[in-house]
Amino acid sequence: VHEPSSHGFSTPITSLSVDADTLVKQIEELSTFSDSPAPSVTRILYTEKDVLARRFVKSLMGLSGLSVREDAVGNIFGRWDGSEPDLPAVATGSHADAIPFSGKYDGVVGVLGALEAINVLKRSGFKPKRSLEIIFFTSEEPTRFGISCLGSRLLAGSDALAKALETTVDGQNISFISAASSAGYLTDPAQISTVFLKKGSYSAFLELHIEQGPILEEEGISIGVVTAIAAPASLKVEFEGTGGHAGAVLMPYRNDAGLAAAELALAVEKHVLDSGSIDTVGTVGILELHPGAINSIPSKSHLEIDTRDIDEERRNIVLKKIHESANEIAKRRRVKLSEFKIINQDPPAHSDKSIIEAMVSAAKDLNLTHKLMISRAYHDSLFMARVSPMGMIFIPCYKGYSHKPEEFASLKDMSNGVKVLALTLAKLSLQ
Amino acid sequence: VHEPSSHGFSTPITSLSVDADTLVKQIEELSTFSDSPAPSVTRILYTEKDVLARRFVKSLMGLSGLSVREDAVGNIFGRWDGSEPDLPAVATGSHADAIPFSGKYDGVVGVLGALEAINVLKRSGFKPKRSLEIIFFTSEEPTRFGISCLGSRLLAGSDALAKALETTVDGQNISFISAASSAGYLTDPAQISTVFLKKGSYSAFLELHIEQGPILEEEGISIGVVTAIAAPASLKVEFEGTGGHAGAVLMPYRNDAGLAAAELALAVEKHVLDSGSIDTVGTVGILELHPGAINSIPSKSHLEIDTRDIDEERRNIVLKKIHESANEIAKRRRVKLSEFKIINQDPPAHSDKSIIEAMVSAAKDLNLTHKLMISRAYHDSLFMARVSPMGMIFIPCYKGYSHKPEEFASLKDMSNGVKVLALTLAKLSLQ
Ligand SMILES: [Mn+2]
Ligand SMILES: [Mn+2]
Ligand SMILES: [Mn+2]
Ligand SMILES: [Mn+2]
C-alpha cells in the first residue's frame, strides 16, 4: 500500500518499522539510573541519577544524528533540521524524572519513544520540511522543589516562576539555584528567563505517554487521542499546636496538630466526593508530623494536597471548601493554620483541532483503533499548550497503574504509539 | 537546727547547700551535645552526641570521686562506697537521651541532679552506710529502636528483650548490635544478658524528674512524691493499599492507605475520650506515608501509637478498641492491615511505702511543700520497680511542658529537688 498523498513520503506505511527490542532495552537501561531498588525507580531532579539519565538521552540523540542543545535549567532539545529550517518546528517530548518508588514508563515512553519515532522516520527515508525536535523536559514531577512541570512552565514563559525559583529551596534547604548549578546548569541565576521560548517557536507540540488510567486496556483500544488535560491544583497546608509529652498532657489540654491534619485529609476526600462528579479527584500524598516521636504530641503537621478536575470551576469549589475546612478544624482544635498556600491552580488545556485530526488520521492510516479521551494526569503538554498548538497520544498501560513499580506498557502498545507519533510528526512536518 | 536522729548525720539540714549555678552550667553544657539547633535538643542512642554526653557524665562522676563502671549496653554506674559495702546499695538516676527537637531537662535533671545530690552529701560530711550509686540509663526514649526504657528493662532482667535485641534494627536498617558496638559497647552480642541485675542489688531506687505536667506549678507546690507510674502501651500499625497516580485513579477505584491512617488516628482519640476518665491518654506521634509524593496516592502508611492510663484494665480496653477500629477501617477501605503489633504493654508500678515515707519526711525536714501524685509519663523507675523498691521525686516545670524546646525547670525548683533527693538518699543509706 503506497499512500504518498496522505502522509507525504513515498514509503509504504506498513514499512514504518519500530525497533521495539531496542526501545525496551533503552527503557530498562534508563530505569537503572535510580535511587531505589528495582523494579521501583526514583530519579529526582539534579541528583546524580538524573544527571546520568540526561547523559544517556543526550548520547542517544547524538546517535540518531540530532543536534543537541540544553537550556539554562536543563531542558534538552534534539533537532533534526528540515528542508525549511526557518519555519516553526514540530516538537515532541516528555520527561524522565520519576517520583520516589515509581515505575519505568511514565514520561520515559515519550522521550525514548520520540527518539525511536525519529529513527523510524529516518529509516523510512522521510525528509522533514519543518524541522523535528525532541524535548526532554526538566522536572515534570514536583518531587524536589514542589513545582510540577518546572521546565515546561518556564518554556511557556512563566515570569512568576522564574522569579520564585531565585529563592526556592528543597526539603534539605538546598536552593534551586545551587542544585541546578551542581548538575551543570544555571551558572548564573539571571539565566532563568533565557529559558522562555519565543512565541511561534513551534507549529505543533506532541507528547506520547502511557494513559495512567485503565480505559484503553479495559476497552482493548490501541491509541488514545487526548482532547483536553484536566485542571490541576496543589496546596501546602501546615498546622501548629503546642505539642508536649504523650503521657503527661491530658486530653482536654491538647491541641494536636497531627489530628488536625488527619481531619483535613478526610475532609479533602469528603469535598471531592461531594462534587458529585466522577471527574473530581483529590489526594493527600504527603502528611508529615513534627517532631515525629511516638511519645510526643505532634506540634506541627504538614500536608500537600493535589486536586484535579476537567471542570476548572468545580475544582475551584473543592479548593474553597478545603480552605474552609482547614480554618474550621484549626479553630475547633485550637491549632494555628500557619500555612495555606496554593502552589499552583492551573486551568485545563485543550488539544489543537488540526493536531487531533492528524493523530486520528495517523491511527486510521495504521489500522489502529483509537478513542478520543481526557487526560486526568497533567503533563508538560499542559504548559506547552500556552505557546504552541498541542496534542497528546496515549497508549494503554497495565491496569492503569502509574507512579508505582508495577507500572507497565507492552512492547506492542509502545510500538503502536511510536508509529502513530512518527506518522503524525511526519504529517505535521509537511503542513 | 541539728537533727542527727532523723537523718543520721550531724550537719544542720539547713546547711545542705546545693551549688545550683554549677548544676545549671552542666545542664547547659550537656544540652550542647545535640543534633538539632539550640534551644532544642536531639540526642539519640549511640550517636556521636550520645557518646559525647556519656563521656561528659562519666568525667563528672570521676570528679565527684565515684567509681565508674559501664555494662554491656552502656548503662553507666557511679558508686560511692558506704561503710557497709556488702549491703544492697541505694541507687538513683535517670536518662540523658532526648527525642528529636525536645528540651534540656527531661531525664537530665535526674542524672546531673543526682551528681549534685552526692556532692551535697559529700560537702556536708555525710558518710553513707549502704553504698550510694548513680545510674545513667541507656535509652529511656524509644526513638531509635522503638523500645522505651531499653537500659532499665534489661537491668530488670527482660529475657524477651535481650532476645529481641539480637535482631532489632533501626529505621535505617542498622542493627542494635552494630549501633551499640560503634558506640563502644556490646563487642559480643552474647553479652546482652550480662546486663541483668542480680535480685537484691539495691535496697532502694530513687529518680528525680521534672513533672512533665502542670500540677505542681499551678498549685505552687515544690515537691511531688510519686506514688505510682501509669501503665503505658505502644503499638505499630501499617496499612497497605494499591497506590497509583493522584490524577488518573478515580475516587471509587482507590484504596488509600493514608486515609486509613488518618481515620485510625482520629479513632484513637475517640476511644481514649470514650474511656470517660481524665487519666486515659492516647497519642499518634508518628504517621508516615509511602511513597510520600504529592501526586501519588499513599500505598502504605505507618502509625505509632502511645496510650497510657493509671488503670491497666481501662487502658487495655482502649487497645482492644483501637484494634477493632483498625480492622474495621481496613475492611471498609479495602486496604490491608499488614501490621498491628503491640510493642509494649506494661503494667503500672507502685512506689515503695517506706520510700514514700522517706521522701515525705525529707520534704518536711526541709520545710518544702509536697504533694502525693501519679506519674503519667513512664520512667526507668517503672522497670527498676521490678527489681528494687522504688520511689520518684517530681519538681515543677514551666507550664508542664516537656518533649519540646520550651521545657524548663527553675534553679530554685531544681535545688529543692536535689536537696530532697540528697536527704532521702542519706536516710535510706542509713536504714
Ligand atoms: Mn508522573
Ligand atoms: Mn508523566
Ligand atoms: Mn522523655
Ligand atoms: Mn524522662
Instruction: Please confirm whether the linkage preceding A4 is cis (ω < 30° from 0).
Output: no
pLDDT in tens, A237-266: 999 999 988 998 899 999 999 999 999 999
Which of A143, A246, A283 is facing B297, going by the closest CB pair?
A283
pLDDT in tens, A187-240: 888 899 999 999 899 999 999 999 998 999 999 999 999 999 999 999 999 999
- Grid cell, residue A415, equals 510500538
A224 sits in which H/E element: strand A223-229
- Grid cell, residue A87, equals 519555519
pLDDT for the residue B199? 85
Please report where in the chains the cell 557524665 appears, as a residue.
B57
- In the predicted model, what is the mean pLDDT of residues B129-141? 98
Distance from the Cα of B348 to chain A's closest Cα (Å) equals 13
Residue B154 contacts residue B383 (beta carbons within 8 Å) = no
Spell out which residues of chain B touch residue A39, defining contact as CB-CB under 8 Å: none
Distance from the Cα of B9 to chain A's closest Cα (Å) equals 37
Spell out which residues of chain A touch residue B304, defining contact as CB-CB under 8 Å: 294
What CATH fold (topology level) applies to the domain A4-230+348-430? Aminopeptidase (3.40.630)
Which of A261, A284, A294 is facing B306, going by the closest CB pair?
A294
Residue B415 contacts residue B190 (beta carbons within 8 Å) = no
Distance from C-alpha of A382 to C-alpha of A371, rounded to nearest angstrom: 20
Half-sphere exposure for A187 (CA within 13 Å, toward CB): 2
A6 sits in which H/E element: helix A4-7
Contact B249 A213 (CB under 8 A): yes
Among residues B155, B324, B315, the alpha carbon closest in space to that of B234 is found at: B315
Number of neighbouring beta carbons within 10 Å of residue A85: 13
Among residues B267, B290, B423, the alpha carbon closest in space to that of B358 is found at: B423
- A84: exposed, middle or buried (C-beta count within 10 Å: 0-12, 13-18, 19+)? exposed
Please report where in the chains the cell 471531592 appears, as a residue.
A272
CA of A141 from ligand 1 middle (Å) equals 6
Mutation target among A36, A145, A226, A283 for the B interface, most CBs of B within 10 A: A283
Residues in chain B: 431
**Cβ-based neighbours of A175, under 8 Å, separated by 6 or more:** A167, A168, A169
Instruction: Please confirm whether the linkage preceding B348 is cis (ω < 30° from 0).
Output: no
Distance from C-alpha of B75 to C-alpha of B135, rounded to nearest angstrom: 7
Distance from C-alpha of B228 to C-alpha of B210, rounded to nearest angstrom: 15
CA of B209 from ligand 4 middle (Å) equals 7
Distance from C-alpha of B4 to C-alpha of A421, rounded to nearest angstrom: 99
CA of A376 from ligand 1 middle (Å) equals 11
3-state secondary structure of B371: strand
- In the predicted model, what is the mean pLDDT of residues B41-47? 98
pLDDT for the residue B6? 45
- Grid cell, residue B204, equals 532502694
Q: What is the 3-state secondary structure of A319-361?
A: HHHHHHHHHHHHHHHCCEEEEEEEEEECCCEECCHHHHHHHHH
CA of A353 from ligand 2 middle (Å) equals 23
Distance from C-alpha of A110 to C-alpha of A116, rounded to nearest angstrom: 10
Spell out which residues of chain A touch residue B278, defining contact as CB-CB under 8 Å: 250-252
pLDDT for the residue B11? 54
CA of A78 from ligand 1 middle (Å) equals 22
pLDDT band at B9 (very low <50, low <70, confident <90, very high): low
pLDDT for the residue B60? 98
Residue A305: closest C-alpha in chain B: B294
b/e map of B243-262 (b: 16 or more CB within 10 Å)?
bbbbbbbbbeebbbbbbbbb
Contact A289 B285 (CB under 8 A): yes
Distance from C-alpha of A31 to C-alpha of A39, rounded to nearest angstrom: 8
Contact A293 B400 (CB under 8 A): no
CA of A157 from ligand 1 middle (Å) equals 22
**The CATH number of the domain covering residues in B231-345:** 3.30.70.360
Q: Are strands A202-210 and A89-95 parallel, antiparallel or unpaired?
A: parallel
Distance from C-alpha of A182 to C-alpha of B98, rounded to nearest angstrom: 35
Which of B246, B278, B292 is facing A100, going by the closest CB pair?
B292
Residue B61 contacts residue B68 (beta carbons within 8 Å) = yes
pLDDT in tens, B68-115: 999 999 999 999 999 999 999 999 999 999 999 999 999 999 999 999
Q: Which ligand minimizes its atom distance to the CA of B293? A: 1
Contact A272 B285 (CB under 8 A): no
Spell out which residues of chain B touch residue A382, defining contact as CB-CB under 8 Å: none
Distance from the Cα of B137 to chain A's closest Cα (Å) equals 18
Distance from C-alpha of B132 to C-alpha of B424, rounded to nearest angstrom: 11
Contact A245 B403 (CB under 8 A): yes
pLDDT for the residue B248? 86
Residue A54 contacts residue A136 (beta carbons within 8 Å) = yes
Distance from C-alpha of B270 to C-alpha of B265, rounded to nearest angstrom: 9
Contact A248 B213 (CB under 8 A): yes
pLDDT for the residue A16? 86
Contact A294 B146 (CB under 8 A): yes
Distance from C-alpha of B68 to C-alpha of B136, rounded to nearest angstrom: 11
Q: Extract the residue ranges of chain A whose pLDDT is less than 50.
A: 1-7
Quick one: how far is CA B255 from the chain centroid? 38
Contact B295 A269 (CB under 8 A): no
ipTM of the complex: 0.83
Distance from C-alpha of B297 to C-alpha of A86, rounded to nearest angstrom: 45
Strand partners, A340: A237
The domain locations on chain B are 4-229+349-430, 231-345
Percent residues over pLDDT 90 in chain B: 92
CA of A217 from ligand 1 middle (Å) equals 19
Contact B402 A244 (CB under 8 A): yes
Residue B350 contacts residue B384 (beta carbons within 8 Å) = no
Distance from the Cα of A77 to chain B's closest Cα (Å) equals 27
Contact A244 B295 (CB under 8 A): no
Q: With the C-alpha atoms ordered B361, B137, B90, B30, is the resulting torsion angle positive or negative?
A: negative
Q: How many CB pairs under 8 A join A and B?
A: 255
Distance from C-alpha of A42 to C-alpha of A50, rounded to nearest angstrom: 9
Contact A295 B272 (CB under 8 A): no
CA of A176 from ligand 1 middle (Å) equals 20
Distance from C-alpha of B106 to C-alpha of B408, rounded to nearest angstrom: 9
- In the predicted model, what is the mean pLDDT of residues B203-229? 96
Spell out which residues of chain A touch residue B409, defining contact as CB-CB under 8 Å: none
CA of B369 from ligand 4 middle (Å) equals 23
Spell out which residues of chain B touch residue A248, defining contact as CB-CB under 8 Å: 211-213, 376-377, 400, 402
Among residues B198, B107, B110, the alpha carbon closest in space to that of B156 is found at: B198
Contact B256 A269 (CB under 8 A): yes
Contact B281 A400 (CB under 8 A): no
- B179: exposed, middle or buried (C-beta count within 10 Å: 0-12, 13-18, 19+)? buried
The verdict on domain B4-229+349-430 having CATH code 3.20.20.105 is: no
Distance from C-alpha of B315 to C-alpha of B274, rounded to nearest angstrom: 11
The DSSP code sequence of A264-332 is HHHHHHHHHHHT--TT-EEEEEEEEEES--TTB--SEEEEEEEEEESSHHHHHHHHHHHHHHHHHHHHH
Distance from C-alpha of A257 to C-alpha of A243, rounded to nearest angstrom: 8
Contact A212 B256 (CB under 8 A): no
Which of A100, A106, A281 is facing B251, going by the closest CB pair?
A281
Distance from C-alpha of B354 to C-alpha of B206, rounded to nearest angstrom: 12
pLDDT at B12 over 70: no
Residue A393 contacts residue A359 (beta carbons within 8 Å) = yes
CA of B322 from ligand 4 middle (Å) equals 26
Among residues B157, B231, B160, B136, the alpha carbon closest in space to that of B200 is found at: B157
Distance from the Cα of A171 to chain B's closest Cα (Å) equals 12
Distance from C-alpha of A312 to C-alpha of A230, rounded to nearest angstrom: 8
Residue type, A210: I
CA of A17 from ligand 1 middle (Å) equals 28
pLDDT for the residue A11? 54
Contact B247 A234 (CB under 8 A): no
Please report where in the chains the cell 551499640 appears, as a residue.
B180
Q: Which CATH number fits domain A232-345: 1.10.730.10, 1.10.8.50, 3.30.70.360, 3.30.1950.10?
A: 3.30.70.360
pLDDT in tens, B230-280: 999 999 999 999 998 899 889 999 999 999 999 999 999 999 999 999 999
Residue type, A35: D
Spell out which residues of chain A touch residue B283, defining contact as CB-CB under 8 Å: 246, 256, 294-297
Residue type, A424: T
Please give all residues whose CB falls under 5 A of ion ligand 1, grouped by chain where several chains appear.
A 106
Mutation target among B144, B250, B278, B283 for the A interface, most CBs of A within 10 A: B283
b/e map of A174-196 (b: 16 or more CB within 10 Å)?
ebbbebbeebebbeebebbeebb
pLDDT in tens, A351-381: 999 999 999 999 999 999 999 999 988 999 9
Spell out which residues of chain A touch residue B400, defining contact as CB-CB under 8 Å: 244, 248-249, 253
Distance from the Cα of A22 to chain B's closest Cα (Å) equals 28
CA of B154 from ligand 4 middle (Å) equals 17
Among residues A86, A82, A105, the alpha carbon closest in space to that of A95 is found at: A105
Q: Rounded to 5 degrees, what are φ and ψ at A18?
A: -90, 135
Residue A153 contacts residue A40 (beta carbons within 8 Å) = no
